[in-house]
């Protein structure tokens, strides 16, 4: 595997995530698109670190920290979406935008 293939994979993940985040109206699907975009950035960063300094574990540790933070962020996001749906029956971005004061 070469760096080019990893960067192509990262670009594909980012592009699919961007399309998903911009084209969907469901809040859950928008969050999934954002998650794919972040995963594309993580794959690109991890591949750069692997090909630049494979002996140092700094990049691997940072990738694990970012993945852990993404997990917490998505759990909190889904909790907020579930709370909005139960309280106001809001499941799309159009109706969620009307909740501003």
Tell me the pLDDT tens digit for each residue of 31-70.
Answer: 899 999 999 999 999 998 988 888 888 888 888 998 999 9
Q: Indicate the pTM of the whole model.
A: 0.81
Per-residue pLDDT tens over the stretch 9-37: 999 999 999 999 999 888 888 889 999 99
DSSP string, 12-58: HHHHHHHHHHHH--BHHHHHHHHHHHHHHHHHHHHHHHHHH-TT-SH
Q: How confident is the model at residue 8 (pLDDT cuts 50, 70, 90)?
A: very high
With 70 as the cut, is the pLDDT of residue 99 above it?
no
Average pLDDT over every residue of 69-74: 90
Cα dihedral 23→7→75→92 (10° resolution): 0
d(CA 55, CA 57): 7
Mind listing the domains of the chain with CATH numbers? 3-96 (1.10.287.3510)
């Amino acid at each position: 595997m070469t760096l080019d293939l990893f960067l192509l994979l990262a670009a594909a993940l980012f592009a699919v995530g961007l399309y998903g985040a911009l084209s969907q109206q469901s809040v859950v699907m928008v969050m999934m698109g954002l998650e794919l975009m972040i995963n594309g950035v993580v794959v690109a960063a991890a591949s750069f670190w692997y090909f630049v300094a494979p002996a140092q574990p700094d990049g691997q540790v940072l990738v694990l920290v970012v993945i852990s933070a993404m997990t917490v962020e998505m759990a909190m996001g889904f909790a907020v979406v579930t709370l909005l749906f139960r309280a106001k029956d809001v499941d799309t971005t159009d109706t969620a935008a009307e909740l501003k004061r």
